[in-house]
Amino acid sequence: MFSYRHAFHAGSHADVLKHMMLIAMLRHLTQKETALTVIDTHAGAGLYRLDGDYAGKSGEAADGVIKLFAALAPAPPAQPQIKDVAPLLQDYLGILAAFNAPGQLKIYPGSPFIEQRLLREEARDKLKLFELHPTDIKALAGNIAQLEAGRQVAVARQDGFEGLKAFLPPPSRRALVLIDPSYEIKSDYQKVTACIQDNLKRFATGTYAVWYPIIPRPEAHELPRRLKTLTTQAGKPWLHATLSIGQAEERNVPGEPERGQGLTASGMFVINPPHTLKAALQVALPQLLQVLGRGRGQGQTLESAG
């Protein structure tokens, strides 16, 4: 346990998909005056360096956000590779820019920092963060302390699947829950479905977003199917988006450390999605694939019901 460190994966194509969808949901949910509670059950360290050892070793950001940034937000006089960049991608790149010096991309904000940035002080929105890794919880607490956000943000060294329960339903009855485990242990898949099943009973109208890896493992294939079944049984709408960047033809450069294919695809399953999410993704996902797609097996899907 605890071998997973998100620093190796920060800014990967999977983070791009997850964080882009997170932004779309938060933009919509923060339009109503009533307070919103955001719960991030697996928060990570919060902030990551893209020019450090971790990102360099894995090369995942290079195939993800760094590639996207170079293609769609190049330093002038270069022009973006795509003429009309999707509003959601522009929004995502704009949020990244707020954490970096002009024209640079050295810092990558993880989900807690993206969430905090979009929450409103005046509406008394709240952010609850859970993290278990002994190093990452320290980094997260330190990074959050620098925001001086006071009671708006709470950080807990606790199992997010368990800790979540105490906050549902929130007093304002409006919440977005991000469930983003590392799936380094097989039981995470089953814990996700049990968590959704349990919390839909506790708070049926919350928005729940589950990220998962698309890998050749029965549990990973089963997860979206199980989520669809239990969401449909609960009579709730859902949206399911996937992005596969496909296989890289040439991975290894002579003289450099060997790189495997890494994770090539992932998905997000959202229960009670904001009604604006699908339309935003219909424009953004094909562009994302156009920039990040790298070969055999690449593709994107978007389906919804309810």
List contacts with ligand SAM (CB under 6 A). Answer: 4, 6, 15, 18, 40-44, 110-111, 130-133, 136, 159-161, 180-182
Q: What is the tally of helices (H) and strands (E) in the chain?
A: 10, 10
CB of 133 to ligand SAM, least distance (A): 3
* Minimal CB distance residue for ligand SAM: 110
Q: Which of 15, 125, 136, 180 is catalytic?
A: 180
CB atoms within 10 A of CB 301: 12
CB of 258 to ligand SAM, least distance (A): 24
Q: Which residues contact 183 (CB under 8 A, 6 or more apart)?
A: 189, 212, 213, 220
From CA 192, how far away is CA 53, in angstroms rounded?
Answer: 31
Q: Which residues contact 201 (CB under 8 A, 6 or more apart)?
A: none
- The verdict on whether 188 is a catalytic residue reads no
CA angle 90, 93, 94 (to 5 degrees): 80
CB of 262 to ligand SAM, least distance (A): 14
| Cβ distance to ligand SAM smaller for residue 4 or 54 | 4
From CA 150, how far away is CA 132, in angstroms rounded?
Answer: 22
| Cβ distance to ligand SAM smaller for residue 159 or 293 | 159
Asked if the peptide bond before residue 77 counts as cis, ω within 30 degrees of 0, the response is yes
- Token pair of 49, please? 């360096």
| Cβ distance to ligand SAM smaller for residue 3 or 79 | 3
CB of 141 to ligand SAM, least distance (A): 13
What is the helix (H) or strand (E) element at residue 263, kind and residue range?
none
Nearest to 175 by CA among 197, 145, 194, 200: 200
CB of 109 to ligand SAM, least distance (A): 8
| Cβ distance to ligand SAM smaller for residue 21 or 85 | 21
In single-letter form, the type of residue at position 29 comes to L
| Cβ distance to ligand SAM smaller for residue 133 or 240 | 133
Chain centre distance of CA 86: 18
For the annotated catalytic residues, the residue numbers are 180
